[in-house]
Structure 1
């Protein structure tokens, strides 16, 4: 079998099954595990999958820069943001993550809502500048330009003193096996701290992030209470999360 054909088969299996186990695939294809592992390494270098111990998971396409991510399923992100904004209740202390979907959430918060919004994203803070009934607390630190958020020791120190009602989290990957993941080690640590600082965590996940994984773990699925995605998301992609008892909202 030609290498190109074999790689296409690997990607097809990954898309169909949501994961790939090198030993099983090598036996099915009649080639060595070393050959399959080499194929997986090369596909990972092309950004077509995410390697994990023993095999691979689908790679998240949501790893472009901030401007690039705003062009990915913009209508879906608007719908997710609108649905999430409706969940915020008067008087709550809410943590908003950075990112393009969270930006849509901020844009859809009613102007008359009274609440406190904590964010480590200057972009989110600016979206709320005209919400006079929203107290905005901006967490500072080193600017991570890719996501336009603050990271680092000072950000972690500030987060340690927060007890919020809910955290609306953005990630680049949501996967039944890998949990919630993102593409930067330090940003993953900040998201994890923000999640632990809130009574509940709700994940904002456009459909391209479902059944996909990135290199760095944020929190396991057991630590979140809800996922908001587009109405167009395939039900088969959502079933694993529903079975885990996670509330899935299709916006």
Structure 2
């Protein structure tokens, strides 16, 4: 089998099965695992898969820059935002992550809602300027422009001094095995720091992130309360998560 044919076969497996196990592919095709790993490296360098130990997973489309992500799945994000906003109770304290889905949540909050919003996203904070009863705390630090959030040592230290009833967490990948992932190590660390300061953490994930993975793990499934998504409830990933006891809320 030619290299181009192997690559096409690998991409087909990824689309149909949601993962590639290098040793299984090597056995099926009668080639060495080194050849499969080499093909996976080439595909990963082109942004077509996310390499993991022993194989590969679908790459998340949500690793594009902030401006590009605003045009990805806007209707799904709107539905998730409405469902997430319904979780915020009057008088409660909310930690709201950065990203385009979190921005949609900020815009979906009732204008007269009396609450406290803690965020490390300047865009989320700005979106709440017209919410007169919302007390907004913006955590400072180095601005990670890709996601328009602050992160780094200063932001993580600031996070240690807050607490909240609810954290609405954004990620770029949702996978039963890889867990909850994102594309930057410092951003992943900041998300963990925020999750540690909330009584409940709900993941916000539009359908294109389900079954995908990025390089850095944010949290294991044991670290979250539930998942909010607009994906088909019969999606095999969602069925797998429900079987593990993860609360899946349909948006």
C-alpha distance in structure 1 between counterparts of 2:27 and 2:145, whole Å? 44
- SS of the aligned residue for 1:131 comes to coil
Deviation at 1:232, TM superposition (A): 4.5
Aligned: 1:96 with 2:79: no
- SS of the aligned residue for 1:218 comes to strand
Which stretches of structure 1, 4 residues or more, deviate above 4 A after TM superposition?
231-234
- SS of the aligned residue for 1:62 comes to helix
Deviation at 1:31, TM superposition (A): 0.8
Matches within 5 A, 1:107-146: 107-146=107-146
Root-mean-square deviation (CA), in Å?
A: 1.1
Cross-structure match for 2:147:
147
Change (3 A) 1:249 1:148: same
Deviation at 1:248, TM superposition (A): 1.1
- SS of the aligned residue for 2:80 comes to helix
Cross-structure match for 2:80:
80
TM-score, normalization by structure 2: 0.97
Q: How many pairs are equivalent?
A: 251
Cross-structure match for 1:199:
199
| Contact 1:207/1:233 (<8 A) preserved | no
Deviation at 1:2, TM superposition (A): 1.7
Change (3 A) 1:2 1:234: farther
Deviation at 1:14, TM superposition (A): 1.8
Cross-structure match for 1:4:
4
Instruction: Structure 2 unaligned segments of length 5 or more: list them.
Output: none
C-alpha distance in structure 2 between counterparts of 1:113 and 1:7, whole Å? 52
TM-score, normalization by structure 1: 0.97
